[in-house]
Structure 1
Amino acid sequence: MMKTELHFKKSLLVSAVALATFALAGCANTAPQGKYVDGVHHVSGKGKKSDITLEVKVEQGNITQVKTLSHKETESLYLNAERLLPEIVSHNGHEGIDAISGATYSSNGILKAINDLPRIDGTKPEYQSVGARSQTGDDDFKLKWSIQPRLGLVKGDYYFEEARFRQGHMGSMLVVVDSNNLQDVILAEFNESGRPNYYTRLYQNVPKRMSEYNFSMGKKKGTAWVQSALTMEKLMMEKDQLTFELNPNYDPKLGNQLTEPNRLKYQGIDIVAGASNSIQQSMIPLTAKIHNRIQAGASDALFYQQAEKLLDEKGRWTGVTAMLRLVVDKNSHKITHAHYDEIFADEKKDIQDASLKAFYRQSKYDSINYVEPARIGFNVMIDALSLHLKEGGSLFNINDLPAAGDTGSYAQTGFTKRSDAWDNYLRLAGILYKQMRADGVINEHALPAQ
């Protein structure tokens, strides 16, 4: 009885599948593919400040390409909204797509324009405005970049340039070349600090490279600011290239069209959308100045850097990397610049201390929210160290610096105990000092009493 019933159900299933297959085959022979009329269409939708006009290519009823022809929206906001274009292609339409947070009006202008595409069935649905997609926390932040320094020793001739650009942002460029081959770029590093009157108070005068700024911008524009800098730095070091030819077909009107090569001012560069102004208006002009200085002869300064991963008592990485940089004058053998920092791992999972996981891909010096246990700003400590060394102080006698001792008086001094960072600094200072003395490039510094 059960066997007969099972055979009957299988027969029904086979018949149903055959019928469905026949029906689908019939539909395939009569129904058109896709839903839009083939061709190249110009469609428009109202954004916040202007009409947004798109050029949409349709093949076999499917959207294959979307380009912006014109708009007068706020540049940064429209760059954000333009992230919808590849989504429209993959969705073959605007249905089911939410607006980009921070660019809701521009997003709706783009989606409304797509709604105006002529359809094969002749219909034109009424456009319904959409809200911004929900934003979750950092756990859903998928962008990747690394701010880890090169481990071990880096040394060479030192060049540095900085200048304000575009509304007052401060751009800076550090280049280190092989002292025996000035054409060999061994380190290139670009940084930028927000202008003093930046519209977000949190980022006024804040360095962008290893601060929360990258996460804030990444969520707004889909790319972190530092990603462009890292891309260009890699290019400069791999190709030993510090100058770039102007693009003869450069068209500033194409600045918002991310797929257009002529939106870029220089040839041969590969920059991530979101920091093109920083690269084109600051980084490249600064490296051009440095290039000219290199052609004129060797630098008067030498650069030394030591970086190492900080380990726990069992020899495991804590998720923090210590880095010390020193610059010495070749003639006087005095320290002219010094910077110490502790840099958190690129991934939360690599940071042992749960209270520090929030600072991944940031450094203690640049982070806005990091709180030093010594109860004084980490940046205050390091700025004091830099000044101490520039004024001729010893690399090792640092007892007068902030958080270098246990005072026990928060009310009086603003901090209560010695920062562990000083012990890490002293270890790296010892390594660099030994190397620099061996190279004969630094004056003698008083060593700490044993």
Structure 2
Amino acid sequence: MKYGKTFRLSLVCSALAVSAFALSGCASFDAPKGKYEDGTHLVSGKGKKGDIQLEVKVENGNIIAVKTLAHKETESLFLNAERLLPEILKNNGHEGIDAISGATYSSNGILKAVNDVPRADGSKPAFEPVGARSASDKKEFKLKWSIQPQLGVVKGEYFYEEARFRQGHMGSMLIVTDSQNARDVLLAEFNESGRPNYYTRLYQDVPKRMSEYNFSMGEKKGTAWVQSSLTMEKLMMDQDKLTFELNPDFDPKLKNKLAEPNRLKYLGVDVVAGASNSVEQSMIPLTAKINDRIQTKGSDQLFYQLAEKLKDDKGRWTGITAMLRLVVDKNSKTITHAYYDEIFADNKQQIRDPSLKGFYRQSKYQSIYYSEPSRIGFNVMMDGLAEHLKAGGSLFEINDLPATGDTGSYAATGFTKRSDAWDNYLSLAEKLYNEMRSDGVIKAHANAPKA
């Protein structure tokens, strides 16, 4: 059996080598000249289970053959990752090549090894791990936007409205104002979930703000839905205004037309095209309702938010920001709303884990494709937390919630290990709880760490 496996692997390597040599002519023709040092080079890069060793042949500065000498990866995954070899040949190097989905670590081991092939000019560029290729990576969008939350603590009067509009989409508007100055808008945030009967099943009931929806829309229309929201929100916070006079120069015929670079006029401000219906039919009416409440009744609830960048054991930002929001009733001092999320950086390069790079400008809760390693949905975990807290549960007694422990039996329980997100949550919960206790706005919670 051992001989048979070795023989089969030899056939696979031989087949890849033949494929590689077949492509070498194309690589020599298209690739830059003199990039690498001529010769046969033995290089290695770390995969998931150990070093991946490659043999790379270079002639006239161009890679003409690559074959695997040894590895310790799962065989089926590594065979998938070896699909990169012809790409490396054609590209004459690893630059600009993303990892194969499902074999991210093995792919990065191969690419890292190629990065170590000696350069003709003596340089040795640092290797940056890459993420898996995905539908959202088909093209680089010229438009940029940021979904990063404000770091530190945000607290104030809480106002929230939601309502369905336009065939059933659910729009929601969150406004937080300074408790000492109702005219000071501290936070404005609009979101929208696709209607339950949305023609694209993938986006039915999916929040748009921090999901793949923006990339899908950007690819089709050249602009992302969230940009309209961000433009309006920034205006509200910068000018401390929630309502705006109609712009007399606005031409309705320009709606969703890119008359200026990705912008159009609406209500006296520049709004990114692509979500004007959401702005007109949902965001503006909901904000108007909130503005009326601020002017008349005020709020009987307080909003507290804490956001912090998650660091690795060397103190470096992982490219993920943790955020906890709590809303409390002023009279009962109990939690009425809770939301915990982990938000990915705006750029792939800032995300250290190569398997997560494809989720940039998204969050774990709102992403469609993100899979929590604990083998249960991140949104399921955090929906459980929200219900637990609304029912009067302690911020710190969470052992009955999903993925809070190790079971070792995926088939029996639906998850195999404790999610790291719970430790991140507890860290923020302790800090935010102490802030709220200091302000005297929340009742004591069982098992709270001592301040």
Please, what TM-score do these two structures have when normalized by structure 1? 0.67
Q: Which residue of structure 2 aligns with residue 180 of structure 1? A: 180
Contact 2:137/2:358, CA 8 A, preserved across alignment: no
Between stretches 244-253 and 186-195, larger displacement belongs to: 244-253
Instruction: After superposition, give the CA deviation of every residue in 1:70-117 in whole Å (9 maximum; x if it has no partner).
Output: xxxxxxxxxxxxxxxxxxxxxxxxxxxxxxxxxxxxxxxxxxxxxxxx
Aligned 1:113-132 pairs, distance under 5 A: none
2:423 counterpart of 1:407: no
Aligned 1:277-356 pairs, distance under 5 A: 277-356=277-356
Q: Secondary structure at the match of 1:341?
A: strand
Q: Which residue of structure 1 aligns with residue 40 of structure 2? A: none
Query: For residues 258 and 348 of structure 1, do their structure 2 counterparts lie closer, same or farther at Cα, with a shift above 3 Å needed?
Result: closer
Q: Secondary structure at the match of 2:145?
A: coil
Contact 2:311/2:318, CA 8 A, preserved across alignment: yes
Contact 1:160/1:173, CA 8 A, preserved across alignment: yes
Q: Aligned partners of 2:438 and 2:278: how far apart in 1?
A: 39
Between stretches 390-399 and 294-303, larger displacement belongs to: 294-303
Structure 2 counterpart of 1:305, one-letter code = Q
Contact 1:159/1:175, CA 8 A, preserved across alignment: yes
Q: Aligned partners of 1:192 and 1:329: how far apart in 2?
A: 25
Aligned 1:78-117 pairs, distance under 5 A: none
Query: For residues 385 and 249 of structure 1, do their structure 2 counterparts lie closer, same or farther at Cα, with a shift above 3 Å needed?
Result: same
Contact 2:163/2:170, CA 8 A, preserved across alignment: yes
- Give the C-alpha shift of residue 447 in structure 1: 1.8
Instruction: After superposition, give the CA deviation of every residue in 1:139-198 in whole Å (9 maximum; x if it has no partner).
Output: 523321111100000000000000111111110000000000001001000000011111
Instruction: After superposition, give the CA deviation of every residue in 1:202-254 in whole Å (9 maximum; x if it has no partner).
Output: 00100000000000000111111111111110000000110122345655444
- Give the C-alpha shift of residue 407 in structure 1: 1.5
Q: Secondary structure at the match of 2:287?
A: helix
Q: Which residue of structure 1 aligns with residue 144 of structure 2? A: 144
Q: Aligned partners of 2:316 and 2:361: how far apart in 1?
A: 19
2:369 counterpart of 1:380: no
Q: Secondary structure at the match of 1:271?
A: strand
Aligned 1:62-81 pairs, distance under 5 A: none
Contact 2:257/2:264, CA 8 A, preserved across alignment: no
Contact 2:257/2:273, CA 8 A, preserved across alignment: no
Structure 1 counterpart of 2:188, one-letter code = A
Contact 2:148/2:346, CA 8 A, preserved across alignment: yes
Structure 1 counterpart of 2:345, one-letter code = A
Q: Secondary structure at the match of 2:183?
A: strand
Any unmatched runs of 5+ in structure 1? 1-134
Q: Aligned partners of 1:156 and 1:273: how far apart in 2?
A: 32
Q: Which residue of structure 1 aligns with residue 276 of structure 2? A: 276
Q: Which residue of structure 2 aligns with residue 191 of structure 1? A: 191
Structure 2 counterpart of 1:343, one-letter code = I
Instruction: After superposition, give the CA deviation of every residue in 1:329-381 in whole Å (9 maximum; x if it has no partner).
Output: 00000000000000001111111110000100100000000010000000000
Structure 2 counterpart of 1:232, one-letter code = M
Q: Aligned partners of 1:390 and 1:183: how far apart in 2?
A: 29
Q: Aligned partners of 1:273 and 1:264: how far apart in 2?
A: 6
Instruction: After superposition, give the CA deviation of every residue in 1:377-415 in whole Å (9 maximum; x if it has no partner).
Output: 000000000000000000000000000111222112100
Contact 1:311/1:318, CA 8 A, preserved across alignment: yes
What count of residue pairs does the alignment treat as equivalent? 314
Q: Aligned partners of 1:136 and 1:426: how far apart in 2?
A: 32
Query: For residues 384 and 308 of structure 1, do their structure 2 counterparts lie closer, same or farther at Cα, with a shift above 3 Å needed?
Result: same
Query: For residues 287 and 374 of structure 1, do their structure 2 counterparts lie closer, same or farther at Cα, with a shift above 3 Å needed?
Result: same
Contact 1:265/1:280, CA 8 A, preserved across alignment: no
Q: Which residue of structure 1 aligns with residue 167 of structure 2? A: 167
Structure 1 counterpart of 2:363, one-letter code = S
Aligned 1:24-43 pairs, distance under 5 A: none
Query: For residues 170 and 176 of structure 1, do their structure 2 counterparts lie closer, same or farther at Cα, with a shift above 3 Å needed?
Result: same
Aligned 1:209-248 pairs, distance under 5 A: 209-248=209-248
Any unmatched runs of 5+ in structure 2? 1-134
Aligned 1:423-442 pairs, distance under 5 A: 423-442=423-442
Q: Aligned partners of 1:196 and 1:404: how far apart in 2?
A: 31
Question: Which has more radius of gyration?
Answer: 1
Q: Secondary structure at the match of 1:333?
A: coil
Structure 2 counterpart of 1:359, one-letter code = F
Query: For residues 355 and 282 of structure 1, do their structure 2 counterparts lie closer, same or farther at Cα, with a shift above 3 Å needed?
Result: same
Structure 1 counterpart of 2:222, one-letter code = G
Q: Aligned partners of 1:434 and 1:139: how far apart in 2?
A: 45
Please, what TM-score do these two structures have when normalized by structure 2? 0.67
Contact 2:328/2:335, CA 8 A, preserved across alignment: yes
Contact 1:403/1:417, CA 8 A, preserved across alignment: yes
Contact 1:157/1:176, CA 8 A, preserved across alignment: yes
Q: Which residue of structure 2 aligns with residue 394 of structure 1? A: 394
Q: Aligned partners of 1:369 and 1:278: how far apart in 2?
A: 24
Aligned 1:42-61 pairs, distance under 5 A: none
Q: Give identity over the alignment, percent.
A: 76
Q: Which residue of structure 2 aligns with residue 259 of structure 1? A: 259
Contact 1:244/1:266, CA 8 A, preserved across alignment: no
Q: Secondary structure at the match of 1:336?
A: strand
Q: Aligned partners of 1:342 and 1:235: how far apart in 2?
A: 26
Q: Secondary structure at the match of 1:270?
A: strand
Q: Secondary structure at the match of 1:384?
A: helix
Contact 2:258/2:264, CA 8 A, preserved across alignment: no
